[in-house]
């Protein structure tokens, strides 16, 4: 009947005092009423005793009921003495307004209450899902512990870390209070205290007190105190720590790419050679020079520049369109090479052949024929003049004309090179036959030319035209007869070019190129002596001789010789215009050529149609040597390499080469060069460098011949003695000869 | 000394003269090439431009192309050799003599002139 009471809930004493009018409403009436319905207690309290306690409609809470009943008993027993008095005093029943109305029978009903030690609030039937059996199963044991009150305590163990820290803090806090005035030292102490985690507090205090040393390190340690404090604050409670982390929203990543247009690529490859680098530098240099020139030309009139530009544009356009002109140089070289191949043997002969048989023929030489130069348009013209170019030793100029009075036609001027025997390099044409020509020494592109009609002209090889650059005319004092010889002189004082010309009209004229005009000056008039006549109106008429050739002295500038048609040779000076220095009765017929010896200053040679060649000393009236060649001598020329060698050509087609040092009386070589009957040789010239002579004939052919060694003999080297070379030797050589000749002559009175 | 003329008036007639002169040059070159071709022993003449393309030839096409290509390379090599030794120097002519004939090449700045000649008499 009666359950063991092992549980006594706290009892509100107030509700026990049911009789009291004041406290009744406050107490847990329900407890009381519910207890009433329960099983009777051990003491068998009837409802009547507790009937007044508030009726509650609810079910009995066994716990509370039991507790109330139990407590009442105890209270009744313990406080019987105290409470009885009070209860006895106030025994009047007070009815609350909401009291349950019960009948008597119901009031007397006894309720049994069992008191157990079970937790009345604990659930009795907890069902849990068991994964093992895959079913819901009731839990056998339910925890009966009922916690009425819990309070988290804040007590920590003294010896734990936290405890120690707190104690230290408390102690420092206590110290801080009295030392508030000097914050420095207080900080020090804290610092020191904080630092000495391992040290005992006493040590820390001692350090703190030693303020002298501590103050020094104050600044460095200023940061220390906040740090440990911050550390401490961060400590988390190990038992009740909830880390609440939250994740920010990660924005979804999206990849956005864009590709730019690739820059246009171009493959470039080149070699970097030394010469490519060199070329680049040269180009740079040229550009700079051009820019410099442009700056200079900017100073000039702008109009002129425009014109030039027009010209340049034209040429550039032309050059772009004309592919073929660019190859002109290569074509030229190629032509020469092709010719060299064709005339290979001749080229080899020219270079290397030396007639071996000359060793056996002591006083004879030969002329080896080399190339033959001819041109279509000059087939009917005679070679009237030959001259080697002073600069280019392989280039020579040939003048074409006609010696025939009746058959006068056009003239031509061709420049050939030995490198190309098949075609002339330059071609010039003229209306009148050319009679003579001469290259300028300093300007090897200029040629002075004398015509059959008495005109003179200057041709410029550099210019593309086939017409002369400058020309005399009837107005400007041309000769009235053919010009037989022209010769360049040194530039006059104004640096103008000038040359002399000699003609059959008896005048020797000096032509000067002044401001692009040929200005003539009569130097001398070849008056024949003793032929002054009395003309009408009292004029003295002079018969003028006809000059056919002249030559200027190499060293003595003013001195020159003139040969005439009458066979006389006049020695003249530029400064004496009316008189001759001397007269030589040279020949019986026209003097075709006079020429000073290239080495000896006194010796000159002359040839004539009277079949003779004569060598003179200009101081002596009579010739030193006379040679009869059995035919009219067309031309005579000294050799450039020896003072004693000269060559002459005759109209019978023979060339004669003499060497006075070897044979004074006979020619070393007499060779037929051209066909006898049909052709006549007109001129001969020695090449200044090579052992070659060129001979021109009447049919427009030029034949080149190589001199054999005998003809070019140099003085023999005596053993032990140095070989003297040079003009002095030559002069001496000739002198010796002359002396030999002179004395017997003077003696013999030749 | 100055042989310069006074400033020239660039009249239309002068310009035509210039054109004629340029044409004259062209004619000259043409003539030269014709002479070369007509020369004794010459078998063929080829003009090749800077890229190795023949622009003028007297041979049939395939042979020309062959010659042009091969000789072009050879000239480049030869020129490179000469210039490597001395950059101020430059190749002026190349001759290849073989059993049958002789190949002569005259290089220019932009062109090559190739002539095949039979030098034997």
Closest chain A residue by Cα to residue B103: A338
Helix/strand number for chain A, H first, E second: 17, 32
Closest chain A residue by Cα to residue B4: A516
**Helix, coil or strand: residue A626:** strand
Residue A416's pLDDT is: 92
Residue A158's pLDDT is: 84
Tally of CA atoms within 13 A in the half-sphere of A290 that contains its CB: 6
User: What is the band of B13 on the pLDDT scale with cuts at 50, 70, 90?
Assistant: low
pLDDT in tens, B78-103: 999 999 898 888 999 999 999 999 99
pLDDT in tens, A281-329: 999 999 999 999 998 888 765 555 544 444 444 444 444 445 677 788 8
* Nearest neighbour of B104 by CB, restricted to A307, A318, A337: A337
Contact B22 A326 (CB under 8 A): no
Q: Which residues of A touch B1 (CB under 8 A)?
A: 443, 491, 495-497
User: What is the band of A9 on the pLDDT scale with cuts at 50, 70, 90?
Assistant: low
Q: Residue A323 and residue A696: Cα distance in Å, rounded?
A: 39
What's the average model confidence in pLDDT over A632-659? Answer: 88
A387 beta partners: A397
Residue A283's pLDDT is: 93
pLDDT surpassing 60 at residue B5: no
Contact status of A92 with chain B (Cβ, < 8 Å): no
Q: Tell me the nearest-neighbour CA distance from A271 into chain B, angstroms.
A: 10
Tell which wins on pLDDT, B39 or A231. B39
Tally of CA atoms within 13 A in the half-sphere of B97 that contains its CB: 5
User: What is the band of B17 on the pLDDT scale with cuts at 50, 70, 90?
Assistant: low
Q: Which residues of B touch A325 (CB under 8 A)?
A: 22, 25-26, 29
Q: Tell me the nearest-neighbour CA distance from B68 into chain A, angstroms.
A: 16
Place of tokens 């071609």: A427
Q: Residue B77 and residue A276: Cα distance in Å, rounded?
A: 14
**Contact B45/B56 with Cβ under 8 angstroms?**
yes
Q: How far is CA A705 from CA A363, A485, B111, B116, in A?
A: 19, 25, 37, 30
**Contact A461/A426 with Cβ under 8 angstroms?**
yes
pLDDT in tens, A384-436: 999 999 999 899 999 998 888 877 788 889 999 999 988 998 888 888 889 99
pLDDT surpassing 80 at residue A346: yes
Residue A124 CB neighbour total at 10 angstroms: 9
DSSP-derived letter for residue A136 is E
**Contact A119/A146 with Cβ under 8 angstroms?**
yes
Contact status of B43 with chain A (Cβ, < 8 Å): no
pLDDT in tens, A65-106: 444 444 444 444 444 445 455 555 556 677 778 877 778 887
Residue B74's pLDDT is: 93
Q: Locate A505 and state its tokens.
A: 């009209």
Contact status of A330 with chain B (Cβ, < 8 Å): yes
Complete DSSP assignment for A399-419: EEE---SS----EEEEEEETT
Rounded to 5°, the CA angle A150-A155-A159 comes to: 145
Backbone dihedral angles phi then psi of residue A281, each to the nearest 5 degrees = -65, -40
Contact A331 B29 (CB under 8 A): yes
Q: Residue A681 and residue A54: Cα distance in Å, rounded?
A: 179
pLDDT in tens, A488-504: 888 878 888 888 888 88
pTM of the full structure? 0.62
Contact B93 A273 (CB under 8 A): no
Residue B49 CB neighbour total at 10 angstroms: 18
pLDDT in tens, A445-498: 888 999 888 888 888 888 877 788 888 877 777 788 888 889 888 887 888 888
How large is the ipTM?
0.80
Contact status of B96 with chain A (Cβ, < 8 Å): no
Buried b (16+ CB within 10 A) or exposed e, A153-184: eeeeeeeeeeeebeebbeebeebeeeeeeeee
Q: Residue A245 and residue B44: Cα distance in Å, rounded?
A: 97
């Amino acid at each position: 009947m009666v359950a063991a009471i092992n549980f006594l809930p706290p009892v509100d004493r107030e509700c026990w005092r049911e009789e009291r009018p004041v406290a009744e409403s406050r107490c847990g009436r329900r407890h009381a009423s519910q207890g009433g319905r329960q099983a009777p207690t051990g003491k068998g309290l009837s409802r009547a005793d507790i009937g007044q306690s508030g009726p509650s409609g609810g079910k009995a809470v066994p716990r509370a009921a039991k507790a109330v009943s139990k407590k009442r008993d105890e209270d009744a027993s313990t406080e019987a003495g105290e409470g009885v008095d009070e209860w006895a005093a106030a025994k009047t029943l007070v009815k609350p307004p909401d009291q349950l109305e019960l009948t008597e029978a119901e009031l007397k009903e006894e309720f049994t209450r069992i008191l157990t030690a079970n937790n009345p609030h604990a659930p009795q039937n907890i069902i849990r899902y068991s994964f093992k059996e895959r079913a819901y199963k009731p839990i056998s044991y339910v925890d009966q512990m009922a916690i009425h009150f819990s309070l988290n305590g804040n007590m920590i163990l003294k010896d734990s870390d936290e405890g120690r820290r707190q104690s230290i803090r408390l102690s420092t806090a206590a110290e801080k209070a009295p030392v508030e005035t000097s914050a420095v030292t207080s900080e020090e102490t804290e610092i020191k205290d904080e630092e000495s985690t391992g040290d005992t507090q006493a040590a820390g205090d001692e350090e703190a007190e030693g303020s002298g040393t501590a103050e020094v390190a104050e600044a460095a340690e200023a940061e220390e105190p906040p740090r440990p404090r911050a550390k401490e604050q961060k400590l988390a409670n190990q038992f009740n720590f909830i880390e609440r982390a939250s994740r920010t929203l990660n924005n979804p990543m999206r990849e956005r790419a864009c590709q730019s247009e690739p820059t246009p690529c171009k493959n470039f490859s080149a070699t970097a050679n030394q010469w490519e680098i060199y070329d680049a530098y040269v180009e740079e240099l040229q550009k700079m020079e051009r820019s410099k020139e442009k700056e200079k030309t900017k100073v000039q009139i702008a109009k002129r520049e425009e014109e030039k530009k027009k010209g340049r544009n034209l040429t550039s356009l032309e050059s772009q369109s004309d592919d073929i002109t660019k190859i002109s140089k290569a074509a030229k070289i190629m032509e020469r090479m092709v010719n060299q191949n064709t005339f290979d043997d001749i080229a080899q002969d020219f270079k290397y052949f030396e007639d071996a048989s000359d060793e056996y023929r002591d006083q004879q030489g030969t002329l080896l024929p080399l190339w033959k130069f001819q041109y279509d348009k000059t087939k009917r013209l005679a070679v009237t003049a030959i001259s080697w170019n002073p600069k280019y030793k392989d280039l020579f100029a040939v003048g074409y004309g006609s010696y025939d009075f009746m058959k006068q036609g056009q003239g031509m001027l061709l420049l050939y090179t030995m490198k190309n025997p098949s075609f002339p390099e330059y071609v010039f044409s003229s209306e009148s036959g050319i009679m003579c020509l001469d290259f300028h020494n300093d300007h090897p592109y200029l040629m002075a030319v004398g015509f059959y009609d008495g005109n003179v002209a200057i041709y410029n090889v550099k210019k593309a035209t086939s017409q002369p650059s400058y020309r005399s005319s009837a107005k400007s004092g041309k000769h009235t007869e053919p010009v037989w010889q022209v010769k360049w002189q040194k530039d006059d004082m104004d640096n103008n070019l000038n040359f002399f010309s000699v003609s059959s009209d008896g005048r020797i004229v000096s032509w000067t190129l002044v401001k692009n005009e040929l200005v003539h000056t009569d130097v001398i008039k070849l008056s024949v002596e003793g032929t002054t006549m009395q003309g009408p109106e009292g004029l003295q008429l002079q018969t003028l001789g006809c000059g056919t050739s002249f030559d200027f002295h190499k060293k003595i500038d003013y001195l020159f010789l003139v040969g005439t048609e009458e066979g006389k040779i006049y020695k003249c000076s530029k400064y004496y215009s009316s008189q001759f220095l001397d007269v030589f009765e040279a020949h019986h017929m026209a003097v075709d050529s006079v020429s000073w010896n290239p080495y000896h200053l006194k010796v000159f040679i002359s040839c004539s149609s009277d079949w003779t060649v004569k060598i003179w000393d200009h101081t002596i009236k009579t010739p030193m040597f006379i040679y009869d060649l059995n035919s009219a001598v067309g031309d005579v020329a000294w050799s450039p390499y020896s003072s004693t060698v000269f060559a002459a050509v005759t109209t019978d087609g023979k060339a004669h080469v003499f060497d006075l040092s070897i044979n004074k009386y006979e020619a070393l070589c007499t060779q037929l060069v051209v066909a006898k009957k049909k052709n006549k040789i007109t001129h001969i010239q020695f090449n200044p460098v090579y052992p070659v002579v060129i001979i021109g004939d009447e049919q427009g052919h030029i034949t080149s011949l190589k001199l054999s060694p005998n003809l070019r003999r140099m003085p023999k080297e005596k053993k032990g003695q140095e070989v003297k070379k040079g003009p002095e030797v030559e002069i001496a050589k000739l002198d010796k000869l002359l002396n030999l000749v002179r004395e017997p002559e003077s003696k013999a009175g030749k | 000394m100055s042989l310069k003329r006074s400033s020239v008036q660039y009249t239309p007639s002068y310009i035509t003269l210039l054109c004629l002169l340029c044409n004259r040059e062209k004619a000259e070159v043409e003539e030269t090439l014709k002479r070369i071709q007509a020369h004794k022993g010459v078998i063929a003449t080829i003009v090749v431009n800077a890229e190795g393309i023949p622009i003028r030839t007297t041979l049939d096409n395939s042979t020309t192309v062959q010659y042009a290509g091969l000789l072009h390379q050879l000239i480049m090599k030869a020129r490179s050799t000469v210039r490597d030794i001395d950059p101020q120097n430059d190749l002026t002519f190349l001759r290849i003599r073989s059993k049958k004939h002789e190949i002569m090449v005259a290089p220019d700045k932009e062109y090559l002139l190739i002539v095949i000649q039979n030098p034997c008499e």
